[in-house]
Chain A
Amino acid sequence: MSKFKTLYDKIWDNHLIYSNDDTSLIYIDRHLVHEVTSPQAFEGLRTAGRRVHSPQKTIAVPDHNVATTPDRLTNFGNEEGRKQLETLDKNAKEFGVHYYPVNDIRQGIVHIIGPEQGWTLPGMTIVCGDSHTATHGAFGALAHGIGTSEVEHVLATQTLIQQKSKNMKVEVYGKLGKGVTAKDITLSIIGKTGTAGGTGHVIEYCGSAIRDLSMEGRMTVCNMAIEGGARAGLIAPDEKTINYLRDKPNAPKGKEWDKALEFWKTLFSDENATFDKEVSLNAADIAPVVTWGTSPEDVLPITEKVPSLSNFEGSKIDAAKRSLDYMGLKPGIRLQDINVDAVFIGSCTNGRIEDLREVERIVRGKKVKSGVRAMVVPGSGLVKKQAEEEGIANVLIEAGFDWRMPGCSMCLAMNADQLLPEERCAATSNRNFEGRQGRGGRTHLMSPAMAAAAAITGRLTDVRDL
């Protein structure tokens, strides 16, 4: 084995308890839990008479199925949602884990509150019964989604049975152009590598364009590592990471902080470390992009046209045909001529304060196009509060946006926030699968700035023209 290690190798080695053949047992630092994938796991513990091994390392929050209306404490919206909520409530209390109930200002999307509360720290292993756990990789933590049996395994043992992945490096060098954001980077990477490009790998994102991103932007990039097929995405920690974490409630304090800092400085890939796969992009070549189909890899610069079937080969032809049918689009029309009925701003990809500031910058003094239903769902109660204090909320409300309570909302449409059949939506979330935002709904993924622009013009719009 090479003496040079990647960041992933370093974190892996630090957490390796033992290996048998090709499976290993690794130690888990943080376990995030939400209401949809955890009930059976807690029930399993109860049936077997087991306890949660490290309740102090386990953090529970309801997000997927919560209502986003102001009266949500009394009006749950759906019976199953209410039951899942009550169950999480009961489990969190019974097993003594950290818990942010719906009426807590700190409640929000699990991947937003982890970093916000300082639970997410560099060099850690972080898991959650949710595939977008990759978000936390922005801090140089090894973070990925797990299944319900694994949730139970982590609850009971604070460890996970794993196979080591391969190393992949994605470098984005140069400088981003005007109007181009982290979301455009991450979508463009998927457009280049495909949704299976990262399969079996952990991606480390690096290069000057990644370094230039804020922590919020880095989270957006890592969030969609999973759409690129990778289990996890990583960015080595630096000054920005440290500054972000300094005052977070659960970040180490005093001497412990100094000790942590020393360690965090060792978290980078050695110069001569080898990667199994390498991809690089010039930031200057990245344009504001939108998706036109039903896979995140169906992505194009906003200046392009809906592709024709002759652009595809093999099994992709059928997939593209099916996508276009579902999306109700004809090849050859300009993407900018596609009208939208709805706009959704939120999710763990783009529900943070910086995203809302970006939206405010675009819509200030303008109005949402009449007939377009536009909603903003802040990623957490604290993001919501901050946006209200900064006056962002007022600007958005005046422009005609619906200002909601925090949660996953229309990212996966498990609660009442759903698209109607054939309704077309400009969305800042991460998945454009058939039915993802509601049965028959049509999703175009894009950055918050682009979604804001679409809200104003009522069609997919190049934000650089506004």
Chain B
Amino acid sequence: MEKFTKFQGIAAPMPLINIDTDMLIPKQFLKTIERTGLGKNLFYEMRYDQSGNIIKDFVLNFEPYSKSSIIVGGANFGCGSSREHAPWALKDFGIKCVISTSFADIFFNNCFKNGILAIVLSDKDRDTLMDDAQNTEKSVLTIDLENQIILRRNGDSIKFEVDDFKKYCLLNGLDDIGLTLKNFEKISEFEKNYTDKFSWS
């Protein structure tokens, strides 16, 4: 996984509450063989009409938000099924950080597993950033995970909390596999003893 570095990006405002994983990526796209390439189907039914034409006033369909790397969202973001396709689609679109007042559990974990930083803020702080995002003059935010702050255009900053372990994994680009492989020696040693004992296995 890529290391999560301090970055500056455009924040898209999505104040709707209960944005579920079906909205994020509808079920007809689950038959794919890839984890990438889902970005074009992100928010499919909100982004395209029945004949597949772009719905012009959906936020991710117009400048500058079509290049967003941050979403400022409504409460209970990511509720619904456990499909890992939801963070895959966000990531493929280019979203690196989602900010809300609350997230559904599984989605929250799936984000981190896929290198996306999910930030929980108070209503007040989230509203401040929602206002920023809605104003194209101010919609560029800087996410500094190391120092746990979001820098606003006007120079103010907002602190956020993040689990130490999750932070460590993101900063070092460690997914579960990366982490497990850090213990490669332990695995190899186990494997050697195991194979000696259970040579038939």
Give A residues with C-beta under 8 Å from B: 17-18, 25, 27, 29, 39-40, 43-44, 47-48, 50, 80, 83-84, 87, 121, 123-124, 147-149, 152-153, 156-159, 161, 252, 256-257, 259-260, 263
Q: Which of B32, B84, B176, B183 contacts A18 (CB 8 A)?
A: B183
Contact indicator A263/B183 (Cβ below 8 Å): no
Give B residues with C-beta under 8 Å from A: 1, 31-36, 82, 84, 88, 113, 176-177, 180-181, 183, 186-187, 190-191, 194, 198-201
Task: Report the minimum CB–CB distance from A215 to chain B (whole Å).
Answer: 19
Distance of A39 Cα from B194 Cα, bound (Å): 30
Contact indicator B36/A27 (Cβ below 8 Å): no
Supplied contacts A18-B186, A148-B84, 15 more A-B pairs, CB within 8 Å: A17-B190, A25-B186, A27-B187, A27-B194, A39-B33, A43-B34, A43-B35, A80-B31, A87-B33, A121-B201, A152-B177, A156-B177, A161-B176, A259-B200, A263-B198
Q: Write out the residue numbers on chain A whose beta carbons fall within 8 Å of the beta carbon of B180.
A: 25, 153, 156-157, 159, 161
**Which chain B residue shows the least CB distance to A18?**
B186
Q: Write out the residue numbers on chain A whose beta carbons fall within 8 Å of the beta carbon of B88.
A: 40
Which 6 A-B pairs have CB atoms at the shortest separation, nearest pair first?
Answer: A39-B33, A252-B200, A256-B200, A40-B35, A260-B200, A80-B31
- SS of A interface (majority): helix
Distance of A86 Cα from B31 Cα, bound (Å): 14
Task: Report the minimum CB–CB distance from B168 to chain A (whole Å).
Answer: 14
Distance of A149 Cα from B191 Cα, bound (Å): 22
Distance of A179 Cα from B178 Cα, bound (Å): 53
Distance of A377 Cα from B82 Cα, bound (Å): 31
Q: Write out the residue numbers on chain B whose beta carbons fall within 8 Å of the beta carbon of A25.
A: 180, 183, 186-187
Task: Report the minimum CB–CB distance from B82 to chain A (whole Å).
Answer: 8
Task: Report the minimum CB–CB distance from A127 to chain B (whole Å).
Answer: 15
Distance of A152 Cα from B180 Cα, bound (Å): 12
Distance of A48 Cα from B180 Cα, bound (Å): 14
A-B contact number at CB 8 A: 75
Distance of A47 Cα from B1 Cα, bound (Å): 9
Distance of A87 Cα from B194 Cα, bound (Å): 33
**Which chain B residue shows the least CB distance to A35?**
B33
**Which chain B residue shows the least CB distance to A80?**
B31
Contact indicator A259/B31 (Cβ below 8 Å): no
Distance of A159 Cα from B183 Cα, bound (Å): 11
Task: Report the minimum CB–CB distance from B31 to chain A (whole Å).
Answer: 5
Distance of A147 Cα from B177 Cα, bound (Å): 14
**Which chain B residue shows the least CB distance to A42?**
B33
Task: Report the minimum CB–CB distance from A330 to chain B (whole Å).
Answer: 32
Distance of A158 Cα from B187 Cα, bound (Å): 9
**Which chain B residue shows the least CB distance to A88?**
B33
Task: Report the minimum CB–CB distance from A359 to chain B (whole Å).
Answer: 32
- Sample (28) of A-B pairs whose CB atoms are under 8 Å apart: A18-B183, A18-B186, A27-B194, A29-B201, A39-B33, A40-B32, A43-B35, A43-B36, A47-B36, A48-B177, A84-B31, A84-B33, A87-B33, A121-B200, A147-B82, A147-B84, A149-B113, A152-B177, A153-B176, A153-B177, A157-B180, A158-B191, A159-B180, A159-B187, A256-B199, A260-B198, A260-B200, A263-B198
**Which chain B residue shows the least CB distance to A414?**
B31
Distance of A158 Cα from B88 Cα, bound (Å): 24
Residue with the greatest number of chain B CB neighbours at <10 A, chosen from A87, A124, A159:
A159
Contact indicator B84/A149 (Cβ below 8 Å): yes
Distance of A87 Cα from B34 Cα, bound (Å): 10
Q: Which of B1, B34, B181, B200 contacts A257 (CB 8 A)?
A: B200
Q: Write out the residue numbers on chain A whose beta carbons fall within 8 Å of the beta carbon of B194.
A: 27
Q: Which of B36, B176, B181, B201 contacts A124 (CB 8 A)?
A: B201
Distance of A309 Cα from B1 Cα, bound (Å): 52
Known: A40-B33, A124-B201, A149-B113. A50 touches B177 (CB 8 A): yes
Q: Which of B181, B198, B199 contacts A157 (CB 8 A)?
A: B181
Q: Write out the residue numbers on chain A whose beta carbons fall within 8 Å of the beta carbon of B176.
A: 149, 153, 161
Task: Report the minimum CB–CB distance from B40 to chain A (whole Å).
Answer: 17
**Which chain A residue shows the least CB distance to B201?**
A29
Distance of A77 Cα from B24 Cα, bound (Å): 29
**Which chain B residue shows the least CB distance to A256?**
B200
Task: Report the minimum CB–CB distance from A351 to chain B (whole Å).
Answer: 24
Contact indicator A83/B33 (Cβ below 8 Å): yes
Q: Write out the residue numbers on chain A whose beta carbons fall within 8 Å of the beta carbon of B183.
A: 17-18, 25
Distance of A260 Cα from B33 Cα, bound (Å): 39
Q: Write out the residue numbers on chain B whose beta carbons fall within 8 Å of the beta carbon of A252.
A: 200
Distance of A161 Cα from B180 Cα, bound (Å): 9
Contact indicator B34/A157 (Cβ below 8 Å): no
Distance of A88 Cα from B4 Cα, bound (Å): 32
Q: Write out the residue numbers on chain A whose beta carbons fall within 8 Å of the beta carbon of B34.
A: 39-40, 43
Distance of A170 Cα from B180 Cα, bound (Å): 35
Distance of A50 Cα from B178 Cα, bound (Å): 10
Distance of A369 Cα from B97 Cα, bound (Å): 60
Distance of A460 Cα from B67 Cα, bound (Å): 59
Distance of A156 Cα from B178 Cα, bound (Å): 10
Q: Write out the residue numbers on chain B whose beta carbons fall within 8 Å of the beta carbon of A47.
A: 36
